[in-house]
Amino acid sequence: MTGGRVEKIDRKDEIFLPIGHYAIFNCKNNPNKIQPKISIYGLGSCIALILFDYKNNVSGMSHILLPKSRQNKTINFPHKYANLSVKLLIQELINHGAMRKNIKAIIVGGSKIFDLDENFMGIDNTKAIKQELEKLEIKIIGENTGGSEGRVVIFDTNDFSVYVKSTREKDFKKLHG
């Protein structure tokens, strides 16, 4: 793991993504032919930002905690913040062979998991992600946000499918792919 990037694939060909981290995968330049799943378990008010370029087979996901960084200096884990992660993840995809015009987005999370009147973090995170994607002209083609339950999200880099399950659901539902 370097600079927030997770590269370790477990025995089930899965990458588990902690808060503030990201994973990038380029299936074309993969000598091992492993096409892992990227997963986040216990996604509450955080956002899973999934970006991909179908044509060039490049994809990535980040686990975003907060809407905006208030620091102007270098941050150790910029993928914790929506305003930084969106730009950085797009750039990483481009660096790995994606074409900006082909990049699409899916967002998952943004729950209000605590029943407090002043708890708007999930809403703020969702709004911040959407604003950043709109500024950068990246189209959102799938979304599972809001509500009051946590989620599990699994992104399959093999076919760009996304599966989501809330904490009360027994089975995963296919969101995309």
Instruction: Give the tens place of pLDDT for each residue, 74-119.
Output: 677 889 999 999 999 999 999 999 999 999 999 999 998 766 556 6
pLDDT for 120 equals: 81
The pTM of the full predicted model, rounded to 2 decimals, is 0.91
Q: Does any domain span residue 58?
A: yes
CATH of residue 57: 3.30.1330.200
Q: Which two tokens stand for residue 71?
A: 């620091």
Q: CB count, 10 Å around CB of 3?
A: 11
* 40: in domain: yes
Q: What is the pLDDT of residue 139?
A: 97
Looking at residue 125, its pLDDT comes to 95
- Domain tally, the chain: 1
pLDDT < 50 regions, the chain: 1-2
User: What is the extent of the structural domain holding 114?
Assistant: 14-176
The DSSP element (H or E) to which 123 belongs, if any, is: helix 121-135
